[in-house]
Amino acid sequence: MDGRTKIVTLSSGHHVWTRRVGTSSVRMLLLHGGPGASHEYFEIFEEYLPKAGIELYFYDQLGSYFSDQPDDPSLWTVDRFREEVDEVRRALGLDDFYLLGQSWGGMLALEYALHHPDGLKGLIISNMTASIPAYVRYIQSLRQELPKEIQEQLQAYEVRGDYASEAYQELLIEHLYKKHLCRLEPWPDAVVRTFAHMNQQVYNTMQGPNEFVVTGNFKDWDRFADLGRIHVPTLVIGARYDTMDPADLEEMARRMPRARATICPKGSHMSMWDDQDAYFTAIERFVRDVEAGVF
């Protein structure tokens, strides 16, 4: 507890963890993925953005590793998480700030921009499409690129509902996760810790059994038709080997009045790790342009 850490008490009485890094008038709140993951895989941000003059706020959402983890599946909804972000934003005194959400955090950031646009200076949607049905279609197409015998093995476990099988998990990791979640070998320690600390109740309630089987309560979420309502300067960033269709991300930027898209040429879903230069250069350029009033 180095003086930069702050525990925010929510209106529900639960507590969530935040930490500030850097000191600047340019401030950015980070929304991690999952749902139910943690800020830990964002640790790489400390190596780039504070040096570019950006004050960072890490934050573990309710249910995540550094925050309270209540045993209450009724809490795990998009609407409640969206309002939690606003409570955290107010508790941290953030106005005229940047909001970056990655994966599930990108969905949450889109929802926040649609419901609480006042005070947002800039929006960064990282590695997230505007539609879960579109995401499902794309990840199924990625599965269909696998050898037929691997597809059949995966399907056999899924038909039985045997998602916890060690053999099934090994198939996912070897043939899908290493290609489309993080392409580094071995995975960075921060990424490993994030997966080890995943709150499965949150994840299973909202997403489903894994990244490629989506049965949770946000499975029908789709905001493509609403993107034109987001007028804040926006960067949509993804990667060539992402679990999100790069064409979707480019279409998102076209539909928003003040947006641009960047597709990292070497990266995957965690392109902040496996295509660092492209990823952080795009973010730094976006913030610099917004600050200069040329976006």
Quote the pLDDT of residue 1.
Answer: 36
Quote the pLDDT of residue 294.
Answer: 92
**CB distance 167 to 156 below 8 Å:** no
Residue 136 makes CB contacts below 8 A (sequence gap 6+) with: 214, 219
Classify 59 as helix, strand or coil.
strand
The CA-CA-CA angle for residues 132, 31, 229, to 5°, reads 60
Residue 10 makes CB contacts below 8 A (sequence gap 6+) with: 16, 62, 84, 87, 88
Quote the pLDDT of residue 3.
Answer: 54
Residues 190 and 61: their CA atoms lie apart, in Å, by 17
Would you kindly state where each structural domain of the chain is located, as residue ranges? 5-292
Closest CA to 206 of 219, 195, 191, 197: 219
DSSP label at residue 269: T
Per-residue pLDDT of the chain (295 residues; tens, 9 = 90+): 355 999 999 999 999 999 999 999 999 999 999 999 999 999 999 999 999 999 999 999 999 999 999 999 999 999 999 999 999 999 999 999 999 999 999 999 999 999 999 999 999 999 999 999 999 999 999 999 999 999 999 999 999 999 989 999 999 999 999 999 999 999 999 999 999 999 999 999 999 998 888 999 999 999 999 999 999 999 999 999 999 999 999 999 999 999 999 999 999 999 999 999 999 999 999 999 999 999 8
Q: Is the dihedral of CA 150, 151, 152, 157 positive or negative?
A: positive
Please indicate whether residue 116 is annotated as part of the active site.
no
Which one from 60, 242, 245, 274 is the annotated catalytic residue? 242
pTM over 0.95? The answer is yes
Which one from 269, 271, 274, 275 is the annotated catalytic residue? 269
**CB distance 241 to 183 below 8 Å:** yes
Which one from 38, 103, 126, 131 is the annotated catalytic residue? 103
Residue 110: phi and psi, rounded to 5, are: -60, -45
Helix (H) or strand (E) holding 101: strand 97-102
Please indicate whether residue 268 is annotated as part of the active site.
no
Token representation of residue 38:
């943690």
Q: Domain 5-292 in CATH: superfamily?
A: Alpha/Beta hydrolase fold, catalytic domain (3.40.50.1820)
Residues 266 and 190: their CA atoms lie apart, in Å, by 20
The CA-CA-CA angle for residues 33, 39, 42, to 5°, reads 90
Classify 289 as helix, strand or coil.
helix
In angstroms, the Cα distances linking 39 to 24, 61, 118, 236 are 21, 9, 25, 20
Quote the pLDDT of residue 212.
Answer: 84
How far out from the chain centre does Cα 252 lie?
Answer: 16
